[in-house]
Amino acid sequence: MDYGMPLIGDKFPEMTVQTTHGKLTLPQAFEGQWFILFSHPADFTPVCTTEFYAFQQRYPEFRKLNTELIGLSIDQVFSHIKWTEWISDNLDVEIEFPIIADHGQVAEKLGLVHPGAGSSTVRAVFFIDPKGTIRAILYYPAELGRNFDEILRMIKGFQVADSQKVAIPANWPNNELIGDRVIVPPASDVVSAKTRMDEYECYDWWLCHKPLEK
């Protein structure tokens, strides 16, 4: 079935894009790294400005997690450059990550323009792992800015889930039931279901948890 846009579990589509850092080919430009591609409605708009400031403030944390950032809107590259200059001059922050100057082709390929939400790109967030697989997609409307601590939390959660073969509970690492512990995958057969509660702390055989490995 052709959905017309990528979904969770799909490979990120190959594309060459013009950015404030020159031409880049995705996802190859970030091979071996996680990367987050995020779209914003337009340059020189108030909510988007607060978002870019927030992303740049957390950029060192993302890089410690082997994660790169790349923005996008349907604006020309000179507009991106002038806007980031304005942010530098007025907010004392240098935007260090690239921004894609899209003419609409990338937005169409990724499903970033939602007709019921206007003609600009919505606030989309794509999480792509080091193998080029899309792991999560978030969409926000123009009037609601994103929670960037949540985006950072998701990257941390994905990396823990992948490395420790566990699941991540709600509001982790501050879950109301188990704190910063992680969830053991449910038993897949009768024998392991019977022994599961002897091996881990459990509410029942299908809801067991263990400490996070450091």
What would the pLDDT profile of 63-87 be if each residue is shown by its tens digit? 999 999 999 999 999 999 999 999 9
For 129, other C-beta atoms within 10 Å of its C-beta total 19
Bridge partner list, 140: 123
Q: What is the pLDDT of residue 45?
A: 96
Q: At what angle do helices 46-64 and 77-91 cross, to 10 degrees?
A: 80
Question: In degrees, to the nearest 5, what angle opens at C-alpha 201 toward C-alphas 199 and 190?
Answer: 50
49-53, 77-81, 202-206: range with lowest mean pLDDT:
202-206
Q: Is residue 100 part of a domain?
A: yes
Q: What is the pLDDT of residue 4?
A: 63
Show the domain range for 185. 165-214
Same domain, 111 and 50: yes
- Contact, 83 vs 90, CB < 8 A? no
CA 79 – CA 124 distance, rounded (Å): 20
Quote helix, strand, coil % in the chain, to nearest 5. Answer: 35, 25, 40
Q: Is residue 7 part of a domain?
A: no
Same domain, 96 and 135: yes
Same domain, 173 and 214: yes
Share the mean pLDDT of the chain. 94
**Which of 119, 146, 173 finishes a domain?**
146
**Which of 146, 178, 202 finishes a domain?**
146
Q: What is the pLDDT of residue 3?
A: 47
- In this predicted structure, the answer to whether residue 145 has a pLDDT above a threshold of 80 is yes
- In this predicted structure, the answer to whether residue 57 has a pLDDT above a threshold of 50 is yes
Question: What are the pLDDT digits (tens) for 107-124?
Answer: 889 988 887 777 788 899
Q: Is residue 49 part of a domain?
A: yes
Same domain, 171 and 88: no
- Contact, 47 vs 82, CB < 8 A? no
Q: What is the pLDDT of residue 1?
A: 36
Same domain, 34 and 113: yes
Same domain, 192 and 140: no
Residue 201: alpha-carbon gap to chain centroid: 31
Same domain, 117 and 179: no
Same domain, 53 and 112: yes
Q: Is residue 102 part of a domain?
A: yes
CA 213 – CA 50 distance, rounded (Å): 35
| The model's pTM | 0.93
Active-site entry in 37, 48, 72, 168: 48
> Please, which pLDDT band fits residue 211 given cuts at 50, 70 and 90?
very high
- Give the DSSP letter string of 79-98: HHHHHHHHHHHHH-----S-
Give me the mean pLDDT over the 190-198 stretch: 89
Q: Is residue 176 part of a domain?
A: yes
Q: Is residue 109 part of a domain?
A: yes
How buried is residue 77: exposed, middle or buried, by Cβ count under 10 Å (0-12/13-18/19+)? middle
> Which CATH number is 204's domain given?
3.30.1020.10
Annotated catalytic residue 202: no
Q: What is the pLDDT of residue 2?
A: 44
Give me the mean pLDDT over the 187-209 stretch: 91
Number of structural domains in the chain: 2
